[in-house]
A and B are shown apart, each in its own frame.
Chain A
Amino acid sequence: MNRKYLKQAPYALLVALLTLLFVYPFWWMVVNSLNSSAEIFGVPRLLPTSWAFTNYLDIFTVQPFARHYLNTLAVAFVGTAGNVLLAALAGYAFARMRFPLRNAAFLLLLTALMMPIEVTIIPLFFQMRGWGALDTLIPLMLLPIFGSQGAFSTFMLRQFYVTVPNELEEAARIDGLNPLGIFLKIMLPVATPVLSSVAILAFIAVWNTYLEPLVFISSLENFTLPLSLTNFNDTYGLPQWHLQLAATTLSILPIMVVYLLFQQKVTDAMVNTGLK
């Protein structure tokens, strides 16, 4: 019995160490989001000292944090919905329809998979300025639909639609459905598992985007969360630590909830991205 426990000891130690490394930063963040600014540094404590829940109210008054939150939600929802819908349309056509230049168009689209946004960000800046879309949420909504995230979703959906049996379409065609009807009534519903996977991935990606808003957005009222978080400074330009931590906690909350609810789905989808 003793020996069995002894054998387990190194593993227990490893699990403890990993917990410290990967959970403690989040724990520290939440604890200190409930402290006053003076209590943050020094001896780390496991629980907040002053339980300053007012921090979570103050973040909404020192800058338009609610607006930033809504901006991010809007960008994430429009970006994700557009991404999934257009990717499903294109993925379905690439998998099951015959038309000229189909394979050439698909290969061309795949090049977007490897295109780093960091390479194209300068021309995109000028293009958005030309369209009068600079300092609006529009580029932040459109890029996840058409950039590498869009190409990735299209690729995933094409791979799925290739495996769908022919009979489904045949039956629908005999019932007199037109191609758009077949897509909307048959092909979209059967793809639900893949659609939800690519949607989760797109949502997380859009939610966490930093470079694009940094380049395209300049007015405080158009900030998204990643910009907002780095902007918790007082009038002297000094960081308001406690508020920044409270805001950071709130900003990662939706993603954490999605992750904890759909852990298997999220990790599977992400690992597939890595394997693309």
Chain B
Amino acid sequence: MKQHSLKANHRRDAIIGWAFITPQMAGFVFFVLLPLVSVFLYSVQEKNLLFGTSVFNGLENYRLLLADPLFSNSLVNTLIFSAGVVPLNLVFSLLLALYLGGGKMGTRFVRGIIFLPVVTSGVAWAIVWKYLLQGGDAGPINWFLSLIGIEGPNWLFEKGWAMASVIVNRVMKNLGMNVLIFMGAVLNMPGDVIEAARIDGAKRFTLFFKIKLPLLMPTVMMVAIVTIIGSMRVFDTIKLMTDGGPEGSTMVMVYYIYHQAFRMFDTGFASALAVVLFLIVLVLTALQWFSRKRISFYES
């Protein structure tokens, strides 16, 4: 009898528990799980959005992808973009966090303003910068440069400068976020360790590289990986500022996926591209989990 009611209780708990999570889990299945499975299935199909075809064609899309110069171009561009964004973002956000963590002049104000682009939409931020970066003497940036005797380039329409422009745009957009994460870590640094080093006569430079940076390293690692993943996913900045140009020099992976799927309607091929992006993000996320394990190891 007692056993029976215990069993009934368990069943009741199971039903109630699942009733609470079912809406979220069902949505997860339809909006995350099935689409993920599908993207793998599509990637081995000749699937065209315009013609409505879906025919299994094995690894043909992947073979085409490896032979496609535009794919390697988009991969290289993504890496260049990332190689620009990540170090710039990390160096400047770390320096700013150390400055703001020191409680110097205008801390609250600076904290407030560097976060403005973070909450602003990427679209709005890109639109405004597209104006600021107008070539000739039309754009404000070039006007400021002309004050110090520099003739600014046609930023968004010259190879190299276009990539530099989207990199700087993106760094400024997300800098505030990393500054605040680093500030949290800076304020959590054990004061006595730093004080002891200072008493031992450590100079600023030594203090930073020998004491502060090692203490901050777990946070730096984690922020670095999150920033790399973010840079792999860049789209709106590129689409709106350069539209992949000039001459495809800012055509990054997500832009190429979008282009192949919704402009060329080659959704099968685009799905193979998406699978590549997924694998890259997967590896980076695995690295993040690994580094987080190390962080908790440091903490305990």
- Are A and B co-members of a single complex? yes
Taking Cβ atoms with an 8 Å cutoff, the residues of A that contact B are 8, 11-12, 14-15, 18-19, 21-23, 25-26, 28-29, 32, 40-44, 86-87, 89-90, 92-94, 97-100, 102, 105, 108-109, 111-112, 114-116, 118-127, 142-143, 145-148, 150-151, 154, 179, 183, 204, 207-208, 210-211, 214-215, 225-226, 229-230, 241, 244-245, 248, 251-252, 255-256, 258-259, 263, 266-267, 270-271, 274-275
Is there an interface contact between A115 and B36, defined as CB atoms closer than 8 Å?
yes
Tell me, in angstroms, the Cα distance from A11 to B236 when the chains sit together: 34
Which of A18, A119, A150 is within 8 Å of B36, CB to CB? A119
Q: Which A residue sits closest to B32, measured CB to CB?
A: A112
A-B residue pair count with CB separations less than 8 angstroms: 248
Tell me, in angstroms, the Cα distance from A241 to B117 when the chains sit together: 21
B293: min CB distance to chain A, Å? 15
Residues of B with C-beta under 8 A to A274: 177-178, 180-181, 223, 226
Tell me, in angstroms, the Cα distance from A100 to B277 when the chains sit together: 34
The 10 nearest A-B residue pairs measured at CB: A99-B17, A146-B27, A93-B20, A123-B38, A208-B121, A120-B35, A41-B138, A90-B24, A123-B35, A146-B31
Which of B17, B24, B32, B122 is within 8 Å of A210, CB to CB? B122
**Most chain-B Cβ atoms within 10 A of its Cβ — which of A19, A26, A115?**
A115
B111 at the A/B interface (Cβ < 8 Å)?
Answer: yes
Interface of B: prevailing SS = helix
Residues of A with C-beta under 8 A to B34: 123, 127
Is there an interface contact between A151 and B28, defined as CB atoms closer than 8 Å?
yes
A198: min CB distance to chain B, Å? 13
Is there an interface contact between B233 and A116, defined as CB atoms closer than 8 Å?
yes
Is there an interface contact between B177 and A270, defined as CB atoms closer than 8 Å?
yes
B116 at the A/B interface (Cβ < 8 Å)?
Answer: yes
Is there an interface contact between B38 and A19, defined as CB atoms closer than 8 Å?
no
Give the interface segment out of B57-65, B67-75, B126-134, B191-199.
Answer: B126-134
| CB within 8 Å of A: which B173-199 residues | 177-178, 180-181, 184
Is there an interface contact between A22 and B123, defined as CB atoms closer than 8 Å?
no
Tell me, in angstroms, the Cα distance from A8 to B104 when the chains sit together: 9
With contact pairs A11-B105, A120-B35, A126-B38 given, residues A23 and B116 touching in the complex (Cβ less than 8 Å): yes
Which of A43, A90, A126, A251 is within 8 Å of B20, CB to CB? A90
With contact pairs A29-B128, A42-B138 given, residues A94 and B120 touching in the complex (Cβ less than 8 Å): no
Q: Which B residue sits closest to A43, measured CB to CB?
A: B143
Tell me, in angstroms, the Cα distance from A148 to B281 when the chains sit together: 14
B82: min CB distance to chain A, Å? 14
21 contacts between A and B (CB under 8 A): A15-B109, A15-B110, A22-B114, A86-B24, A87-B24, A90-B24, A99-B17, A112-B28, A114-B282, A119-B275, A120-B36, A120-B274, A122-B42, A123-B38, A125-B261, A146-B28, A146-B30, A244-B127, A259-B115, A259-B116, A270-B119
B1 at the A/B interface (Cβ < 8 Å)?
Answer: no
